[in-house]
Structure 1
């Protein structure tokens, strides 16, 4: 009987385990994206750099609206009153990039709609009075990320992207000490608290050190896009996907000026990816 009682206690404890309770720091839930961004801006009134990061949509992880489309539609209008420039992780003038770009798109399975969505963001920023900047690349720099066998060296490519994001942003800030910049790119590059060995792929951390803080990191998470990604399972905020819903936005703060925003899900179905299976 004692053994049976012990097993019942153990099972009860397992059933009571809440993975969300294990997420470090407390998360907050708000009604929609605009409420989430407004809350973050109220807590960080004077950034010079709005470092926005996304988890890229791929052909295997598609949502009705990508993070880039949601940023253009819902968020840029809230940041525009606070900034004068927009830097985008894109190469729209890449005349000698076609072969390499095709390799990158194939290897990363980037969605075909990305280029058009970047153009929409650039046009929207101009309409709102922001000066858009894409990343300037020379043909020599393009060639440098291709190895001797003719394949793209993705580590070199990531380092090149990081350097270009940093250089472009620094140049804008140096030209006017009163200006502020929105930087939109991958969630790897905007980390204020990057994990080893990824420090070299963040422009945000060294930039914050150079300008005395004033860098606000916001990662945009579309539940349907990140749900299939194995690398996301190790993120401390991953269990929060169990609360993903069309009716709420979840905001998790990694540290000072660093936020993860889990955008509204298309349905409750995606939340199952982060929920424990009940053995009973």
Structure 2
């Protein structure tokens, strides 16, 4: 069986994680990974659906959801902090709201943390099985390259992306492929984004604003894809899940970031049945300005309850799940 990298003929954009330092204007940067641009959209879709990278550990059974949560420490205050024995229990609590759209954002693994399981790996192995039968589709932040687009322009966009991928762990790309592969195995259709040639032109014309243009495009395409999926007659009782960086799913994006988030648009479209969930690997949290700006950071005590999963609820429909300390 071929390796995922040989099947993945698309541009991969793992955008807007919380940990990198923000660019001018205070926003988080996207962290893309380039792959061969010459494949068709149908080939790209097939790569996500059939890539042969199996998860490195058996997925957690949905039956392992009990017992109930215990109240969080008093320092969590109004953020509704809860402690759980396992991350699966915390994720199950989030699902109790029965959203039409569940938008999961992660902090991407960075170089130097290869010994710590990433958020993508944990989501794939532990959370994805709970979505089987509940979710129809999983929209993953993968770009399918239209073969009719100018190859030189596509290559230039990929070159611009390299500046913001240098700090990213090398395994991120294959883990996103594994996520799509495992979703299909569980009966959840993996979906990707399909930028037009005009989108690539707009990114290049933006010059120094190219990253801003990419972030805006991701939000726009994801919202359009989710709306199209929700409109199907076969959607009765099922949700659409979006998985990507912890920026595009914001229900209350910060000033200047409004165009980068599909949260408010999909919340309105679903009549409030939208849930934003950020999943955070405890070891990735740093004492940097970008982390400190997050609403839950001041309430997070790194040395308290390190073996528990922590679930913050900063606002209605908004959750932050912090994994226990790694073994």
TM-score by length of 1: 0.79
2:213 aligns to what? 156
- Which secondary structure state, in structure 2, belongs to the residue aligned with residue 90 of structure 1? strand
Provide structure 2 residue ranges, at least 5 long, that are not aligned to the other structure. 1-72
Distance 1:231 1:207, change over 3 A: same
Between the two proteins, the alignment pairs up a number of residues equal to 246
Residue 134 of structure 1, CA deviation: 0.8
The farther-off stretch of 130-139 and 55-64 is 55-64
TM-score by length of 2: 0.68
Map 1:64-213 → 2, pairs under 5 A: 64-93=116-145, 96=151, 97-109=154-166, 110-147=168-205, 153-176=210-233, 178=236, 179-213=238-272
2:27 aligns to what? none
Distance 1:238 1:161, change over 3 A: same
Distance in 2 of aligned mates of 1:34 and 1:117: 19
Quote the RMSD (CA, aligned, Å).
2.5
Provide structure 1 residue ranges, at least 5 long, that are not aligned to the other structure. 1-18, 268-280
The farther-off stretch of 77-86 and 121-130 is 77-86
Asked whether the equivalents of residues 63 and 224 of structure 1 are also in contact (C-alpha less than 8 Å), the reply is no
Residue 263 of structure 1, CA deviation: 0.9
Asked whether the equivalents of residues 250 and 261 of structure 2 are also in contact (C-alpha less than 8 Å), the reply is yes
Asked if 1:231 is matched to 2:290, the reply is: yes
Asked whether the equivalents of residues 208 and 214 of structure 1 are also in contact (C-alpha less than 8 Å), the reply is yes
Distance in 1 of aligned mates of 2:232 and 2:90: 31
Asked whether the equivalents of residues 84 and 130 of structure 1 are also in contact (C-alpha less than 8 Å), the reply is yes
More helix by share: 1
